[in-house]
């Protein structure tokens, strides 16, 4: 069976339905590279929604991938809470000193008002612009930090781990406040035109906390949160391992999992088949030095492992391509997914039977 | 986490590695279930035959090394490694004060994070080294120039740098160049996700050694202090 050319929206929706579209969808989550396209510093780029809209459109036109992203940078939410954001010339803006200086401050914290937060309003204007430009043919992705993971930026990783283990009452209070904000922030992005929202949740991964503890902490928080978000949610573990918790993730109500390059993609696909669409898992750290040949081999391998039967979107493993990854590598990824991602993926069987496919 | 989960994980780790002494094994279990009292009890020799330093070296250090290896192979989570290090750090501080014994001979050392606020890795290295009986300065978060200035002023022999983000990891190359330009012979030990994921990165930035876990730092320091490269 052959497929006629689909729009990006049709392609993504088909794979989300665990069916095979015309080709493997490709999300190039290059939130910083738009600044390079426009010849702006990263700080200037994110200062105006028009810049980000233009950057996203240029990236999509250049690399022909299948989404537009309203993501600015992880600490944009911390900025709204009153925290500090530190811009760099060659990397994503970082959160500064945690704004919760004392754990007892959790008793008194209240979520920011979205309409009063310039940084959040810029994100919403960006999503509106992307939605208008997409004409309904390209998914527009919004991003929220999960209530369970954002405390790393709010209070620091070390104190947050101690809180999880040692102060359950304060932990519950923190989740309650963060969940209220996360739901409001996600729904505001849907109202602005987002097709889906990505919930960044690295702390839930088995890399950061044991699965037993996740089931008592991050899991119920995610389930409560997603139940109140008025649109589809994808959960990204941002390089963290997920194999021990994919069954749980599916029960949170999420439809997709952003997965780690440190786990076998074939095993991930088996664990997620029919339950979660797999997003990943090209390694962004080593990607900056990949040769054209390596790119092709890695893309082929990912498609062979996770492409059959749909339920797969090729992307990086972290949800953000490092600034240091050169355009030539990104172009090679784009070319490779076009070359090897077209359904039906007959070459996989040929390859397994020993037929040479490298000279296709 | 519940106690059963931690004990189960500890048992799985034991099965996959060479058998430690029974005290170290029990100590490791106590750490993984956050049982501070049991950990403290295990560290004090009921017969009084071993000094506190000996107990630390024979029980605590091997347990932390095994926990580090379990983290590297994905058998336990970062939060368990961090909490284990914290418990050990607290125990060592208390027990060494009680015993009044000096720490082992060691090079002058400091640990730092370059430019960003991802301080967890540094904290874990600090805790593990303190728990292993080493003294070291904690420089906190610093820019490359200031870090080199301070390391040279303090005559630091081993500078440990923890990085979570790729740009921070790449900035180690600047530290190396500045150290070389100053004529310093300070050795650089680096660690963190980018170095673990990309084995060439440590070499690229001019590090003398790369640690894949906080516990690795102990072995690397002992090797360098012992005259190894």
**pLDDT range class, residue B129, cuts 50, 70, 90:** confident
Write the residue in B79, B119, B166 that is nearest to A324 by C-beta. B166
**pLDDT range class, residue B103, cuts 50, 70, 90:** low
Give domain status of residue B84, yes or no.
Answer: yes
Give domain status of residue B38, yes or no.
Answer: yes
Both B62 and B148 in a single domain?
A: no
Query: Which residues are registered as beta bridge partners of A103?
Result: none
Rounded mean pLDDT of chain B?
A: 83
ipTM, interface predicted TM-score of the complex = 0.92
**pLDDT range class, residue B100, cuts 50, 70, 90:** low
Across the range A186-205, mean pLDDT stands at 98
Both B113 and B201 in a single domain?
A: yes
pLDDT for res B20: 46
Both B43 and B70 in a single domain?
A: yes
pLDDT for res B132: 81
Distance in angstroms (rounded) separating the CA atoms of residues B194 and A123: 29
**pLDDT range class, residue A62, cuts 50, 70, 90:** very high
Write the residue in B2, B117, B194 that is nearest to A97 by C-beta. B117
Q: Are A350 and A357 in contact (CB under 8 A)?
A: yes
Q: Residue B64: which domain range?
A: 3-99
Across the range A146-174, mean pLDDT stands at 96
Both B150 and B74 in a single domain?
A: no
Token look-up 């490791």 returns: B28
Across the range B22-30, mean pLDDT stands at 87
Q: Are A77 and A145 in contact (CB under 8 A)?
A: yes
A265-318 pLDDT tens trace: 999 999 999 999 999 999 999 999 999 999 999 999 999 999 999 999 999 999
Which residue of B12, B34, B78 is the best one to mutate when testing the A interface, meaning the one whose CB has the most A CBs within 10 A? B78
pLDDT for res B89: 85
Total Cβ atoms within 10 A of residue B102: 10
Both B90 and B135 in a single domain?
A: no
Share of chain B above pLDDT 90, in %: 42
Tokens of B34: 């956050």
A241-279 pLDDT tens trace: 999 999 999 999 999 999 999 999 999 999 999 999 999
The answer to whether residue A217 scores a pLDDT higher than 90 is yes
Tokens of A212: 């037993």
Write the residue in A97, A210, A288 that is nearest to B80 by C-beta. A210
At which of B39, B65, B99 does a domain end?
B99
How many domains would you assign to chain B?
Answer: 2
Both B91 and B116 in a single domain?
A: no
Burial of A83 from C-beta contacts in 10 A (0-12 / 13-18 / 19+): middle
At which of B99, B118, B152 does a domain end?
B99
pLDDT for res B104: 60
Cβ within 8 Å, pair B194-A285: yes
> Which chain B residues are closer than 8 Å to A208 by Cβ?
77-79
Cβ within 8 Å, pair B123-A96: no
Distance in angstroms (rounded) separating the CA atoms of residues A47 and A61: 22
pLDDT for res B98: 61
> Would the CA dihedral through A34, A38, A43, A44 be positive or negative?
negative
Cβ within 8 Å, pair B77-A206: yes
Distance from CA of B115 to the nearest CA of A (A): 9
A78-136 pLDDT tens trace: 999 999 999 999 999 999 889 999 999 999 999 999 999 999 999 999 999 999 999 99
Both B215 and B144 in a single domain?
A: yes
Distance in angstroms (rounded) separating the CA atoms of residues A65 and A62: 8
> Would the CA dihedral through A243, A245, A247, A253 be positive or negative?
negative
| CATH code where residue B77 lies | 1.10.1240
The answer to whether residue B3 scores a pLDDT higher than 50 is no
3-state secondary structure of A63: helix
**pLDDT range class, residue B220, cuts 50, 70, 90:** very high
Distance in angstroms (rounded) separating the CA atoms of residues B154 and B137: 10
A320-359 pLDDT tens trace: 999 999 999 999 999 999 999 999 999 997 776 554 444 3
Fold that domain A8-352 belongs to in CATH: TIM Barrel (3.20.20)
Distance from CA of A215 to the nearest CA of B (A): 9
Rounded to two decimals, the pTM is 0.89
Distance in angstroms (rounded) separating the CA atoms of residues A8 and A34: 20
Distance in angstroms (rounded) separating the CA atoms of residues A350 and A106: 58
**In sequence order, which residues have a C-beta less than 8 Å from that of residue A313 and are 6 or more positions away?**
A12, A15, A24, A25, A26, A27, A66, A256, A277, A278, A279
At which of B99, B128, B163 does a domain end?
B99
**pLDDT range class, residue B49, cuts 50, 70, 90:** confident
Cβ within 8 Å, pair B77-A86: no
Give domain status of residue B145, yes or no.
Answer: yes
Cβ within 8 Å, pair B5-A213: yes
Both B153 and B118 in a single domain?
A: yes
**Cα R_g (chain A), whole angstroms:** 20
Checking A344-347 for CB contacts under 8 A at 24+ apart, the result is A344/A1, A344/A2, A344/A20, A345/A303, A345/A304, A345/A307, A345/A308
Angle formed at CA A314 by CA A310 and CA A316, multiple of 5 degrees: 150
């Amino acid at each position: 069976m052959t497929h006629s050319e689909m729009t990006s929206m049709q392609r993504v929706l088909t794979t989300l339905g665990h069916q095979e579209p015309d080709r493997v969808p490709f999300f190039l989550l290059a939130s910083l590279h738009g600044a390079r396209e426009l010849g702006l510093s990263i700080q200037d780029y994110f200062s105006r929604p028009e810049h980000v809209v233009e950057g996203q459109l240029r990236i999509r036109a250049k690399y022909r991938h299948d989404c537009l992203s309203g993501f600015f940078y992880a600490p944009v939410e911390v900025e709204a809470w009153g925290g500090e954001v530190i811009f760099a010339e060659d990397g994503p803006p970082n959160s500064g000193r945690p704004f919760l200086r004392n754990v007892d401050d959790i008793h008194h914290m209240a979520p920011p008002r979205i309409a009063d937060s310039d940084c959040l309003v810029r994100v919403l204007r960006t999503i509106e612009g992307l939605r208008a430009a997409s004409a309904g043919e390209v998914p527009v992705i919004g991003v929220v930090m999960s209530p369970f993971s954002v405390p790393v930026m709010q209070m620091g990783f070390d104190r947050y781990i101690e809180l999880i283990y040692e102060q359950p009452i304060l932990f519950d209070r923190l989740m309650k406040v963060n969940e209220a904000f996360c739901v409001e922030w996600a729904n505001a992005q849907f109202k602005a035109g987002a097709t889906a929202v990505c919930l960044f949740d690295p702390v839930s991964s088995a890399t950061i906390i044991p699965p037993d503890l996740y089931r008592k902490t991050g899991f119920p928080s995610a389930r409560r949160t997603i139940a109140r978000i008025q649109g589809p949610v994808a959960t990204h573990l941002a390089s963290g391992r997920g194999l021990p918790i994919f069954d749980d993730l599916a029960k949170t109500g999420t439809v997709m999992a952003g997965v780690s390059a440190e786990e076998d993609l074939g095993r991930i696909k088996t664990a997620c088949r029919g339950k979660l669409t797999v997003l990943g898992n090209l390694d962004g750290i080593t990607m900056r030095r990949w040769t054209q040949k390596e790119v092709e081999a890695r893309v082929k391998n990912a498609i062979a492992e996770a492409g059959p039967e749909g339920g797969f979107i090729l992307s990086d493993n972290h949800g953000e391509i490092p600034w240091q990854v050169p355009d030539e590598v990104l172009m090679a990824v784009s070319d490779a997914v076009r070359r090897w991602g077209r359904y039906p993926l007959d070459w996989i069987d040929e390859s397994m039977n020993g037929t040479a496919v490298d000279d296709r | 986490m519940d106690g059963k989960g931690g004990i189960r994980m500890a048992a799985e780790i034991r099965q996959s590695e060479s058998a430690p002494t029974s005290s170290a094994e029990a100590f490791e279990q106590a750490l993984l279930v956050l049982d501070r009292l049991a950990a403290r009890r295990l560290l004090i020799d009921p017969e009084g035959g071993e000094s506190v330093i000996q107990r630390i070296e024979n029980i605590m250090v091997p347990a932390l090394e095994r926990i580090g290896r379990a983290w590297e192979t994905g058998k336990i989570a970062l939060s368990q490694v961090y909490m284990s290090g914290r418990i050990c750090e607290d125990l060592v501080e208390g027990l060494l004060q009680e015993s009044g014994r000096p720490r082992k001979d060691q090079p002058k050392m400091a640990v730092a994070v370059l430019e960003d606020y991802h301080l967890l890795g540094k904290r874990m290295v600090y805790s593990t080294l303190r728990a292993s009986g080493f003294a070291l300065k904690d420089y906190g978060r610093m820019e490359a120039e200031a870090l080199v200035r301070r390391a040279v002023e303090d005559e630091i022999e081993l500078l440990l740098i923890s990085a979570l983000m790729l740009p921070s990891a790449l900035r180690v190359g600047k530290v190396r160049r500045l150290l070389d330009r100053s004529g310093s012979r300070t050795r650089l030990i680096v660690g963190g996700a980018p170095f673990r994921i990309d084995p060439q990165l440590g070499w690229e930035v001019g590090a003398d050694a790369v640690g894949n876990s906080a516990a690795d730092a102990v072995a690397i320091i002992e090797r360098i202090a012992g005259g190894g490269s």
